[in-house]
Amino acid sequence: MSDGPKKIINKITKGFAKHGYICSDQISTAVYLASELEKPILIEGPPGVGKTELANTAAMYFKKELIRLQCYEGLDESKALYEWRYGKQLLYTQILKEQMQEVLEGAKGLRESLGRLMKFEDIFFSEDFLETRPLLQALTSDKGSVLLIDEVDKSDEEFEALLLEILSEFQISIPELGVRVAKVKPLVMLTSNNSREIGDALKRRCLHLYIPFPDAKLERQIVQARVPEISESMQIQLVNFVQGIRELDLKKQPAISETIDWAKTLILLNSEELEAKLAEETLNILLKHQQDIEVVKKEIPALISSATETSDGKSIN
């Protein structure tokens, strides 16, 4: 016991911040536990709250290679686990036929031929013809890796079942070769947007982290880290404005990535203050549905006045 868990968690928070990822205590606790207990984390949350980014940052923080597997419907083991190099395998059978003559030359009787044939090395199913895919790569990596299985909810249920062995035992069974166990256990992160309910079996094997939209304080820190050139008053107004929008009834709430994009846009347009006209013109960066834009447009004056009001209050304090 060199460091208490609290210290390590703080270290993770700071280390992540250095790589530009501002995280809440909840997130850093999850990363800490995942690396200590060597368990995969299932990360859920609305789109754009930085689920994928978390894995990227974790890879940078732990100085490990990031191996990413993007899931989609129809993803199967030949794309995720391993594949045989069929072309070469077929060529091998051709060569084998020619070689056969040499091997069997001078053999007397069937028994002897058979004996020679048995001694002959068979490499049809061997590492030589094995093409590794992301999951197997993550297991065979010598230095350990961060394995990101992105949007696991997009894949089929069969694929989920395929993951179970890897997630609980960190091993893959290849029928032709036997079980491949991880040299160094990778840090596994799965993300999901909840477009489909993830099975209980998978959930049970994972730690579960839910990343919600950040509160105003955290979001301000994130904007500050990602868009450092923004002025403080602008940053406060902007975040308050976005937080206000999230309280409206919208089809798709603006996420952190959208807030950052918007902040960058406003910097590009050289604006110092959040004005109604400007906000209205650039609203399409924040919102992706025309209906949402219509809803928010009506609320702009109120949102801006409350955003600037609270920012004034803050600056007095």
255-275 burial code (b ≥16 CB/10 A, e <16): bbebbbbbbbbbeeeeeeebe
Q: Please answer whether residues 245 and 253 qualify as being in contact, where contact means their C-beta atoms are separated by less than 8 angstroms.
A: yes
3 versus 281: smaller Cβ distance to another protein: 3
Q: Does the protein bind another protein through residue 37 (CB under 8 A)? A: yes
**How remote is the C-alpha of 292 from its chain's centroid?**
28
- For 185, other C-beta atoms within 10 Å of its C-beta total 18
- Least distance between another protein and beta carbon 27 (Å): 10
Stretch that binds another protein, among 40-48, 56-64, 218-226, 254-262 (CB under 8 A): 40-48
Site for another protein in 44-83 (CB under 8 A): 44, 76, 78, 83
Strand, coil or helix: 13? helix
Q: Quick check: helix, strand or coil at residue 83?
A: strand
Which of 135, 134, 132, 145 is CA-nearest to residue 185?
145
225 in contact with another protein (CB under 8 A): no
Count Cα atoms within 13 angstroms, Cβ side, for 48: 15
Pick one of 3, 7, 18, 86: the residue that binds another protein (CB under 8 A). 86
Burial of 101 (0-12, 13-18, 19+ CB in 10 A): exposed
Nearer to another protein, 44 or 258 (CB): 44
Q: Which is nearer to another protein, 261 or 292 (CB)?
A: 292
Q: Does 5 bind another protein (CB under 8 A)?
A: yes
Query: Which of the residues 205 through 224 are near another protein (CB under 8 A)?
Result: 205, 207-210, 212
Q: Enumerate residues 255-274 that contact another protein by CB under 8 A.
A: none
| Cβ 47 to another protein shortest distance, Å | 15
Site string for another protein, 7-36 (x = CB under 8 A): --x---------------xx--xx--x--x
